[in-house]
Structure 1
């Protein structure tokens, strides 16, 4: 059975609820990985999303961060933390098993200003993610890591590379940490299916007409284990939600698995 999975940093699920429900109705993904829900678990709009046909698994935090998984299918073995640092209180990772796939929604730290403590946290978080991906590879279950990685993998993924070269999203250490995860044997879905395309973005800042001028970044990604990559049929970016009133600054990215 095919599975259509989307990832979307909604930049406050309650502020964007109308847009989210509209998109769930029109696009009808099987699973949605949400980031930056910006609410505690008890404030998540469960009733409205369940009425749209989705079960919910939520790992929230007051005012900041927060991730969730919406699914038309049953979820099991839900885990709420990225292993490797018991002191990390930020709600940035949730993982569940759905229809035999292990699916994770992640919100990787932004890391700015760089260098500095926030950048150190970003790189440490990425090292933990690599270690966790390595442990998932030893288990016999296909997995997908989807979300806002806050990384432009190459200069093809940013509208103005020279101006962004010192930003935490584009710095050499950030890109090297991302490659180290991919180099475990994972497939970055969009680039695997669109190897030559430049100027395809998933985020446009609210400032200074970035959306109108298409000055964007591609920072929302899917990384697939080898067994999952064998089933990859399609991956694309749905720009339509970014053009709506009260839009998130990100737009959904989706994959289809056979």
Structure 2
């Protein structure tokens, strides 16, 4: 079974890339984030092409911002459209999580709040939201939480830690919240598969040619409980989907359970062509 997660940064804009990617990579379960569509608009644009490919879907959207979905061709049962106890930002319950049982796994697609800056109200909201995500896990063994976590787990997961000292994504409270989630019995399967690789990024800012220099961050994660984590045959970042015209600023993360469909390939496929030298580890 192949599971993938991808922050598409607008499903409608990315549709000419998303559908061919589904055909090429052939995933069984896909977690999407930042669809930026209402439920009605998502169905209008995607219901038919997804059905043609054998996918059911559950989507939670707002319209202009946020939005998450699960696509599945191995079952889609017991759908939950929000996290229990999820906080609001202002008076808005944002579209940031959807959960369903797919192929015997309890899968949650998440788009964790960005946090903006450590002194912004959005940062406190981010930590509250992460606490609700942690509390939502009732059976860690069969849980998969996949999506844009907006947290780089360690300094190895950013191209230059010094660049991020005044920003979110790397602060101790965020990383502690992520560690508490993992501490429930979940495994960061990409890092577990490739513990000694520094340059495993999933996001590259559109500005300043950062993708071409491979100046990125690893903020899109697949966290899996003992059952799926013990079945991982391959785990990698599909960097090819970030190349070319009109890409998202994120690349998909792909995890194969039981069988490595494309072989046990490297952590980033294809590898960067002109990476800028990284500073030494601290």
In the alignment, is residue 10 of structure 1 matched against residue 11 of structure 2? no
Which whole-Å CA distance do the structure 1 matches of 2:65 and 2:23 have between them? 27
Deviations 1:114-165 (A, max 9, x none): 22200000001111111112x233xxx6111000000100011001111112
Secondary structure class of the residue paired with 2:216: coil
Structure-2 residue corresponding to 1:126: 130
Structure-2 residue corresponding to 1:136: 139
Structure-2 residue corresponding to 1:74: 75
Which whole-Å CA distance do the structure 1 matches of 2:65 and 2:193 have between them? 33
Which whole-Å CA distance do the structure 2 matches of 1:136 and 1:84 have between them? 17
Structure-2 residue corresponding to 1:182: 182
Which whole-Å CA distance do the structure 1 matches of 2:51 and 2:30 have between them? 13
Deviations 1:88-124 (A, max 9, x none): 5100000111121111100001101222200000001
TM-score (norm 2): 0.86
Structure-2 residue corresponding to 1:153: 153
Provide structure 2 residue ranges, at least 5 long, that are not aligned to the other structure.
259-282
Which whole-Å CA distance do the structure 1 matches of 2:27 and 2:244 have between them? 19
Structure-2 residue corresponding to 1:97: 101
Deviations 1:38-95 (A, max 9, x none): 0000101222222233211111111100000111222110111011136551000001
Q: 116, 121, 142: which is aligned to 1:117? A: 121
Structure-2 residue corresponding to 1:37: 35
Structure-1 residue corresponding to 2:208: 208
Structure-2 residue corresponding to 1:21: 19
Deviation at 1:26, TM superposition (A): 0.6
Q: Decide which moves more: 67-76 or 17-26.
A: 67-76
Which whole-Å CA distance do the structure 2 matches of 1:85 and 1:109 have between them? 12
Which whole-Å CA distance do the structure 2 matches of 1:244 and 1:175 have between them? 32
Contact map agreement 1:21 1:52 (CA 8 A) in 2: no
Structure-2 residue corresponding to 1:51: 52
Secondary structure class of the residue paired with 2:12: coil
Q: Decide which moves more: 34-43 or 168-177.
A: 168-177
Provide structure 1 residue ranges, at least 5 long, that are not aligned to the other structure.
none
Deviation at 1:173, TM superposition (A): 1.0
Deviation at 1:213, TM superposition (A): 1.0
Contact map agreement 1:202 1:252 (CA 8 A) in 2: yes
Secondary structure class of the residue paired with 1:246: coil
Structure-2 residue corresponding to 1:163: 163
Cα RMSD for the two superposed structures: 1.3
- Call closer, same or farther: CA 1:123–1:28 in 2, change over 3 Å: same
Count of equivalent residues: 252
Contact map agreement 2:87 2:128 (CA 8 A) in 1: no
